[in-house]
Amino acid sequence: MQQAWIDCRRSRSAVGLERTDCGYAELCERAAENAVDCVLGWTPGPIRTLLPQLVVSRERTVDSATVTRLVVGIERMAPVRASTFNVRYDDPADEYPWDERRSRVLETIDRIGPDLLGCQEALAHQYDDLRDGLEAYDWHGVGRRDGERAGEFVPVAWRRSRFERLETGAFWLSETPAEPSVGWDASLPRVATWVRLRDRESDETVWFCSVHFDHSGERARLESARLLRRRATDRLERGDVPVVTGDANCTVGSVPHRTLTTGPLADARRVANERSGPAGTFRGFDDGVGDRIDYVFVPSAVDVRRYRTIPPNEATPRSDHLPVVADLELEE
């Protein structure tokens, strides 16, 4: 029980929560002080029944992702936690190369505990590391240069205990989206990766997509936003809930951002009931937090309970971007 409380405190710190953000902190502390066998025994009914198989003895502890869910007070029908994280491609010249950052990236994702995760800039070996290090998830991704292993991935991952995979795919952000290609005035090929899922709890179908817009091509960003909006609209008309995450390389109010949010999709931060963390998401390795260019987009009808940008770890950076987390109520 003491170890579970230690994990609980670490999880709250990792996701930027203070003690007062958790309605059960006092109860958990009393449980820890008395070394009782079950932390769930101190919580109200909805939380107590969340995951009864995780009632713990002194010999067993709760994993950090589940502790995080308990701490923020998720009820029996848990919201879907969607997250986007640009992990920074492996550049050996970086001050903080991937070999040094890998464990921090994996630990951060584990503590966030997403149900849906979109990553950007992962090279093939980084994609392999993510899959190997996050065993609760299934993955889909392709290299942007050849549709196989060459170039950066923008992979999608989903918690297999929550979602059933129905279909996967990818399309390029270009005039020829069915094949690896460079679009418009982009400097590099850009790909979107997607998966269609069935939520085992609500039976809703979700179309989840991860993207990374071009950093230099102004027209490419605009046309990419138009293409993505068409794809999301089509999925919504088919009865799916489109959830799009990614690094759009554009700021709030820019033409691509307005294009994406003029239609069925809304910027999750703007419509969230609660917001916390830095406003920006790009930080580099040495500078302070800059513009917000990483997003979660959802249909305007979706209730976004909470939206968080995970604060930077100044001493030991995870990436040059900050992870973004949104808790979504998809149930009608």
Within 10 angstroms of residue 184's Cβ, the number of other Cβ atoms is 17
Task: Please give the structure tokens belonging to residue 178.
Answer: 């069915």
Sheet order of strands, 294-299 included: 163-172, 191-199, 205-212, 241-247, 294-299, 265-267
CATH 3.60.10.10 domain range(s) in the chain? 80-329
Q: Using alpha carbons, list the distances in angstroms from residue 94 to 89, 99, 104, 284, 320.
A: 10, 11, 16, 11, 11
Could you tell me the pTM of the whole model? 0.80
Strand partners, 304: 328
Q: What are phi and psi of 221, to 5 degrees?
A: -65, -40
Say which residues have a Cβ less than 8 Å from residue 60's Cβ, sequence separation at least 6.
none
Question: What distance lies between CA 301 and its chain's CA centroid?
Answer: 20
Amino acid at 24: Y
Read off the amino acid at residue 91.
D
- Write down the pLDDT at residue 27: 39
Number of helices (H), then strands (E), in the chain: 9, 13
Contact 326, 241 (CB under 8 A): no
State the pLDDT at residue 77.
62
pLDDT tens digits for the chain (332 residues)?
334 433 444 443 433 333 333 333 443 443 344 333 333 333 333 333 333 333 333 334 445 555 445 444 434 468 999 999 999 999 999 999 999 999 999 999 999 999 999 999 999 999 999 999 999 999 999 999 999 999 999 999 999 999 999 999 999 999 999 999 999 999 999 999 999 999 999 999 999 999 999 999 999 999 999 999 999 999 999 999 999 999 999 999 999 999 999 999 999 999 999 999 999 999 888 768 999 999 999 999 999 999 999 999 878 899 999 999 999 998 75
* Strand-strand pairing, 156-159 and 191-199: unpaired
Q: DSSP string spanning 197-256?
A: EEETTT--EEEEEEEE--SS-HHHHHHHHHHHHHHHHHHHHTT-EEEEEEE-SS-TTSHH
The two three-digit tokens of residue 273, written as one number: 């009931």
Fold of 80-329: Deoxyribonuclease I; Chain A (3.60.10)
Which residue, among 219, 198, 218, 241, has the nearest Cα to 329 in the 3D structure? 241
